[in-house]
Amino acid sequence: MTENIGIIGGGIVGIAVARALGIRGLGNITVLEKEHRVAMHQTGHNSGVVHAGLYYAPGSLKASLCARGRELTREFCAEKNLPYRELGKLVVALTEDELPALAAIESRSVMNKVPGLRRLDARELREIEPHAAGVAALHSPRTAVVDYSAITEAMADDVRACGGRILLGHEVTAITAGHGEVRVTTGHSELVFDRLIVCAGLQSDVVAGFLGASPAPKILPFRGEYWALSPAKQHLVNGMIYPVPDPRFPFLGVHFTRGVYDSIHVGPNAVPALAREGYTWTSFSGKDTLASLTWPGAGALARQHWRMGAKEIAASLIKRLYYQQARRFIPELHISDLTAKTAAGVRAQAWARDGSLLDDFAIDQVGPVTLLRNAPSPAATSSMAIADHLLEHHVLPDSRRP
């Protein structure tokens, strides 16, 4: 008997799951997406980087699925004639004080088998990025850039070609699981599925709540803002220039990225968003903000990261502070070279009751419902590998697993 399988979420991960099911002929597939097109939120508001796996704990889901996802993304782009540019990334230590942290990233990268990785001295790093500062760097030549929105649209075409449905403008308002079925209510209809997979991103904890699942982890939205580099100064950056990240904080810091269509953006920063889909300071939801402030881990998080948070907020509000962060890596940069803020993104960061920010991908199972509870970067890179993992370890019955 053919199963009816529903997927909530039309971002790159949800569409990748639908495609993986469709091309395997594993059921009648329906994707429910509340927006008027796919890839509207995290997928369509990121830097487009295909990560090589430098930062992730060896043995973690992030490490393994990023490595596999990178290869699947490259192959898919070749198959669909979509741009895939291996521009390379430098992780730059500005001072000798940062060398131990750089060495720690190098050790992780080696264990994660990051392809082509090299440690560079100051002269060697400037052979790759002549305008960059720094005393040493790691070079990841296989780090690439793509258009994730275009990839998602192409995967959506595959879903439809396999007979699947993508229902846009269908916001889920209730879920009831029992008696061997899952009933999903939207603003338009009620649908019945044998299995349901939730890839709801910024709304993942809200959707989990419809099932009575644990409220933890909760989603804490962080906005990342980008500045565009003026066309006259785009010669200052050949590929990607990243800082050595602070290991206490799950964000990489302001960096430079040449995009797949050659525009260069600076950022993102990381500031608390005042709404789950709050792309500006004026986007405010009292409900979302109150939910964050009253979460049991709020006090612990504030005590641990208030200095970093204050610094990020100040740089968001005062261009010169943002510029000063960026100029450390490109000394020739002038404040006028940052021409305009471009479309910001909001990261769905999972947050535990003790105030800790979850680092790895997280998956829950509630009967016939699979819930992807945490899928921050490198989720876009890993999307097709995440889809395979969900099918093989959570969705398919044992008799149908590879």
From the first residue on, what is the mean pLDDT of each consecutive set of 10 residues in the chain (402 residues)?
Answer: 92 98 96 97 94 95 97 98 98 97 96 97 98 98 98 98 98 93 95 97 96 93 94 97 82 89 93 92 92 90 85 92 96 96 89 90 94 95 98 73 46
The span from the CA of 389 to the CA of 387, in Å, is 5
Strand-strand pairing, 136-140 and 118-121: antiparallel
pLDDT confidence of residue 1: 67
**DSSP letter assigned to residue 398:** G
Q: In this structure, are 350 and 238 located in the same domain?
A: yes
Mark whether 28 and 98 lie in a shared domain: no
pLDDT of residue 401: 45
How many residues does this entry show for the chain?
402
Q: Which domain holds residue 321?
A: 219-357
CATH number at residue 320: 3.30.9
Instruction: Please give the pLDDT value at position 178.
Output: 87
Whether residue 82 is contained in a domain is answered as: no
Does a structural domain hold residue 61? no
Q: Are residues 289 and 353 in the same domain?
A: yes
User: What pLDDT does 108 receive?
Assistant: 95
Distance CA 327, CA 321 (A): 10
Question: Looking at the structure, do residues 277 and 298 belong to the same domain, yes or no?
Answer: yes
At residue 343, the pLDDT reads 79
- Judgement on whether residues 37 and 114 belong to the same structural domain of the protein: no
**In terms of Cα–Cα distance, which of 204, 151, 167 is closest to 36?**
167
pTM of the model: 0.95
Are residue 347 and residue 384 in the same domain, yes or no? Answer: no
Token readout for 11 is: 């971002």
Question: Within this chain, do residues 327 and 269 fall inside the same structural domain, yes or no?
Answer: yes
> What is the pLDDT, as a whole number, of residue 53?
95
Do 288 and 260 reside in the same domain of the chain? Answer: yes
* E strands present in 34-88: 49-50, 84-85
How far CA 128 is from CA of 120, 159, 189, 236, 364, in Å, comes to: 10, 41, 56, 11, 43
- For position 197, which CATH number holds? 3.50.50.60
Residue 363: inside a domain, yes or no?
A: yes
pLDDT on residue 134: 97
Residues 345 and 234 in one domain: yes
Domain count across the chain: 3
Burial of 332 (0-12, 13-18, 19+ CB in 10 A): exposed
Residues 246 and 340 in one domain: yes
Distances 21 to 30, 151, 162, 249, 309 between C-alpha atoms, Å: 10, 17, 9, 35, 41
User: Which residue in 335, 376, 336 sits closest to 251, CA to CA?
Assistant: 376
Q: Quick one: pLDDT at residue 396?
A: 73
